[in-house]
């Protein structure tokens, strides 16, 4: 037993001390609190992989004032810059036209090239903004794509036909004419077609007591023309037999589609809807 204790003491004496494991200039006070290259919180540490660093809040960018020391807003400065660009381009164009030389033409072409490139850049940004902001897309209301146009036209035609059929129950067309008006007689087939297609009532109103063939019996003007301000024929007015409301459709030679479109627009829509 004594020999075993002596061997243990000798063995412990031969082991290196704890401080011999320390990095030069550092010591290890305990296994839980030590100072080393691994310690957190030291800005000089290079190996603090397991430490959580708190990012210092970045300084908020200072808001630029809308005005400069000159008192002009950014918009006002942009207007001045645009005026300068236009002036320079106009001067280059004027020199080219008034004094056409290779130099003046080249100068204008160079200035014009810059403006074309600027316009192309703006156009590119414009379309990107348009694609990503549906509320700015005018084509949702008035498409330019051929396929979408066909869809819109089909829907529009259906709406117009439904309108014509529905209105024919209470509305009719007053046809103001004169016997010496060749265009008035030319309108007879179109008015006949309106009656056949939509059962629309046509009431011819003679301004001079004459008659016209191919339409229902005419009535002489009883002052309605003056009330409506009729001063040219043929003139067409949509009238409601119940409410006596009158809507002037137009004058001159109109096609069947003209009638359908105008009746639909004037009775079913408001300015700006289409």
Task: Read off the pLDDT of residues 213-244 as tens digits, 9 standing for 90 and up.
Answer: 999 999 999 888 888 888 889 999 999 988 99
Mark whether 166 and 260 lie in a shared domain: yes
**Do the domain assignments include residue 142?**
no
pLDDT tens digit sequence for 176-200: 999 999 999 999 999 999 999 999 9
Cα 70 to Cα 75, 79, 115, 136: the distances in Å are 13, 15, 28, 35
Shared-domain flag, residues 157 and 83: no
Domain count, the chain: 2
Q: Is the pLDDT of residue 46 over 60?
A: no
Say if 13 falls within a structural domain: no
Tell me if 2 is assigned to some domain. no
List the beta strands (DSSP E) in 98-242: 171-177, 201-206, 219-220, 235-240
- The answer to whether residue 46 is domain-embedded is no
Q: Is the peptide bond before 234 cis (omega within 30 degrees of 0)?
A: yes
Residues 158 and 260 in one domain: yes
Residue at 59 is within a domain: no
Residues 189 and 90 reside in one and the same domain = no
In a domain, residue 256? The reply is: yes
- CB burial string 51-90: b at 16+ within 10 A, e below: eeeeeeeeeeeeeeeeeeeeeeeeeeeeeeeeeeeeeeee
Measured CA to CA, the distance from residue 125 to residue 120 in angstroms comes to 9
pLDDT at residue number 228: 87
In a domain, 38, yes or no: no
Q: Are 202 and 172 in contact (CB under 8 A)?
A: yes
Q: Domain check: are 108 and 204 in the same one?
A: no
Which residues in the chain belong to E strands, given as ranges? 171-177, 201-206, 219-220, 235-240, 246-251
Bridge-based pairing of strands 246-251 and 235-240 is antiparallel
pTM of the model: 0.60
Task: Say if residue 173 is in the same domain as residue 114.
Answer: no
- Indicate the pLDDT class of residue 53, thresholds 50, 70 and 90: low
CA 197 to chain CA centroid, Å, is: 39
CATH number at residue 254: 3.40.30.10
Domain of 90 in residue numbering reads as 74-127
In a domain, 37, yes or no: no
């Amino acid at each position: 037993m004594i020999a075993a204790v002596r061997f243990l003491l000798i063995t412990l004496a031969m082991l290196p001390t704890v401080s011999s494991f320390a990095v030069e200039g550092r010591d290890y006070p305990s296994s839980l609190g030590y100072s080393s290259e691994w310690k957190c919180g030291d800005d000089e540490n290079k190996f603090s992989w397991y430490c959580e660093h708190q990012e210092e809040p970045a300084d908020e960018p200072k808001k630029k004032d809308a005005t400069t020391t000159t008192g002009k807003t950014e918009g006002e400065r942009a207007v001045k810059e645009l005026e300068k660009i236009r002036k320079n381009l106009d001067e280059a164009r004027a020199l080219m036209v008034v004094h056409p030389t290779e130099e003046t033409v080249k100068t204008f072409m160079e200035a014009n090239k810059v403006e074309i490139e600027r316009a192309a850049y703006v156009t590119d940004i414009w379309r990107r903004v348009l694609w990503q902001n549906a509320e700015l897309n005018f084509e949702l209301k008035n498409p330019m794509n051929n396929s979408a146009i066909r869809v819109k036209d089909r829907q529009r035609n259906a709406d117009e036909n439904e309108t014509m059929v529905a209105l024919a129950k209470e509305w009719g067309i007053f046809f103001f004419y004169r016997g010496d008006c060749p265009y008035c007689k030319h309108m007879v087939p179109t008015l006949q077609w309106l009656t056949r297609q939509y059962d629309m009532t046509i009431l011819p109103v003679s301004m001079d007591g004459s008659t016209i063939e191919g339409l229902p019996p005419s009535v002489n003007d009883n002052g309605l023309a003056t009330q409506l301000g009729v001063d040219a024929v043929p003139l067409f007015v949509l009238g409601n037999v119940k409410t006596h409301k009158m809507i002037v459709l137009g004058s001159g030679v109109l096609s069947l589609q003209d009638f359908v479109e105008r009746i639909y627009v004037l009775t079913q829509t408001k300015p700006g809807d289409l």
